[in-house]
Amino acid sequence: MSNIIIIYSTTDGHTREICSRLQKITKENNNEVTLIPIEQTSELDLNKFSKIVIGASIRYGKHSKKIYEFINKNEKILDTKPNAFFSVNVVARKPDKNQPETNPYLKKFLSQISWKPKELAVFAGKIDYQKYRILDRFMIRMIMWITKGPTDPKTSIEFTDWNQVNNFGQLISKM
Ligand SMILES: Cc1cc2nc3c(=O)[nH]c(=O)nc-3n(C[C@H](O)[C@H](O)[C@H](O)COP(=O)(O)O)c2cc1C
């Protein structure tokens, strides 16, 4: 049995939902699993855990600054344990951009840090226009219009392939 920690960064909660699914799958494989938002990691002792997973969503082209800071601060300990990173973004809804090797945000992120996660994943996120502030809604609808996605302001759509998430949960259980 492993003691897994999943650290996540979310704005609208979708990455948290993905983490909950990962928690469910890894628990079913008899692991102990802790979920913790990046904002609550200042006192966290990573030594207590046998595997470390980090997940973060993209907002206006970037993962949260806090994720970079956490990784830079903990790179040494990350390297001593089985570890994984995953990114959540809506560009990953496109079949040619839904793999770690083809997703522009994940590729850029990896080029900006020196940590080399042992396992990687990218998951398509969710669009829920009614939840967004006016400017965000306008901007995302513009991006969707440009990239041929849904623009109806009432749209709430989950692009996430939950089978892909389940498979990653199995991978984490085994790593
Ligand atoms: C204000 C805003 C900006 C976003 N910017 C991007 C972006 O630049 N590229 C992208 O692929 N997805 C972008 N997204 C989509 C999010 O990555 C997607 O909604 C994801 O599910 C959010 O996860 P979270 O709820 O865990 O933050 C954006 C979403 C919002 C609301």
Encode pLDDT of 155-171 as tens digits.
999 999 999 999 999 99
Q: What is the mean pLDDT of residues 13-34?
A: 97
Ligand 1 nearest-atom number relative to CA 9: 26
Any ligand 1 atom below 6 A from CB of 68 = no
Q: What does pLDDT average to over the chain? A: 97
Whole-number pLDDT of residue 126: 98
Interval 113-130: pLDDT, tens: 999 999 999 999 999 999
Residue 91 CA to residue 172 CA, distance in Å, equals 24
Question: Cα(133)–Cα(49) distance, rounded to whole angstroms?
Answer: 38
pLDDT in tens, 82-102: 999 999 999 999 999 999 999
What is the total residue count of the chain?
Answer: 175
CB distance 60 to ligand 1 below 6 Å: yes
Proportion of the chain above pLDDT 70, given as a percent = 100
| pLDDT number for residue 30 | 95
Q: In this model, does residue 1 exceed pLDDT 90?
A: no
Does ligand 1 come within 6 angstroms of the Cβ of 128? no
Residue 105 contacts residue 87 (beta carbons within 8 Å): yes
DSSP bridge partners of 83: 52
Outline where DSSP puts E strands in the chain.
3-9, 32-37, 51-57, 83-89, 119-124, 126-128, 156-158
What DSSP line would sit under 102-168, residue for residue?
T-HHHHHHHHH-S---SEEEEEE-EEEGGGS-HHHHHHHHHHHHHTT----TT-EEE---HHHHHHH
> Is residue 133 pLDDT above 90, yes or no?
yes
Which residues contact residue 73 at a Cβ distance below 8 angstroms, ignoring those fewer than 6 apart? none
Measured by CA distance, the residue closest to atom 25 of ligand 1 is 12
Residue to mutate, 54, 57, 87, ligand 1, most ligand atoms under 8 Å from C-beta: 57
Question: In sequence order, what are the residues at sequence separation of 6 or more whose Cβ sits closer than 8 angstroms to the Cβ of residue 154?
Answer: 129, 130
Q: What is the pLDDT of residue 94?
A: 96
How many Å lie between the centroid of ligand 1 and the Cα of residue 57? 6
30-80 residue pLDDT tens: 999 999 999 999 999 999 999 999 999 999 999 999 999 999 999 999 999
